[in-house]
Chains A and B, each alone.
Chain A
Amino acid sequence: EDQVTQSPEALRLQEGESSSLNCSYTVSGLRGLFWYRQDPGKGPEFLFTLYSAGEEKEKERLKATLTKKESFLHITAPKPEDSATYLCAVQDNRNSGAGSYQLTFGKGTKLSVIP
């Protein structure tokens, strides 16, 4: 059974204080690892896809990295508008047919950036 564990559950940062969010995963074979951002009262919004260990993706103040067992979302010099819940999800290449699309989500890390 695929498992995704995110830590910490909640993180408070001062504006400009860089940090990282962790996503550790257990999957038979990784097809892809995904990061989503969710603002209060809204649906998740796609951020990044990572496919293989060593891969990195960047977007503004966010950088996602991937190893064989975990992924990190690095936030550099965060701003209050970066406050949100960040979700990690995995896609298992063991699944076939319609199941190939399925994602297993972690519970998320709630990030608060204080001005």
Chain B
Amino acid sequence: NAGVTQTPKFQVLKTGQSMTLQCAQDMNHEYMSWYRQDPGMGLRLIHYSVGAGITDQGEVPNGYNVSRSTTEDFPLRLLSAAPSQTSVYFCASSDWGTGGGTQYFGPGTRLLVL
């Protein structure tokens, strides 16, 4: 059981470039989400999904897109990277069997936008 995996671990982008952060889970969880973590700001929710074809916006969705075509995968796309998107990104998953709040996090992707 690999749990939640994220790739890449670290990425450097130039302003205006696009990229996709990958997230996969092998626990058959219906809920998946993306957070960003910045110093002094805590974890903030970007987008989330409760199943294939169902996504919704969190607290800070601007500049990011998501899609969910399978239960396992939930990629996060940066359309045109900006320095303000420099952050650490975490993917998480959970299921309603444990109330939904017991979330399993991936190891994170550290993104630097120059």
A residues apposed to B, CB below 8 Å: 31-32, 34, 41-46, 49, 87, 89, 91, 97-103, 105-108
Q: A46-B102, A105-B42 are in contact. List 9 more A-B contacts (CB 8 A).
A: A31-B99, A41-B108, A43-B107, A44-B90, A46-B103, A87-B43, A102-B58, A103-B45, A107-B42
With A44-B90, A87-B43, A106-B42 known as contacts, the answer to whether A101 contacts B108 (CB < 8 A) is no
Q: Which residues of B contact A100 (CB under 8 A)?
A: 96, 100
Partner of A43, one of B94, B96, B102, B106: B106
Q: Complex: how many Å from CA A44 to CA B43? A: 10
Interface of A is mostly: mixed
Q: Is B53 part of the binding interface, using a Cβ–Cβ cutoff of 8 Å? A: no
Q: How far is the CB of A56 from chain B (nearest CB, A)?
A: 18
Q: Which residue of A lies closest to B91 (CB)?
A: A43
For this complex, 16 residue pairs linking A to B, each with C-beta atoms less than 8 Å apart, are: A31-B99, A32-B99, A32-B101, A42-B108, A43-B107, A44-B43, A44-B105, A45-B105, A49-B101, A49-B102, A98-B48, A98-B50, A100-B96, A101-B33, A101-B96, A105-B43
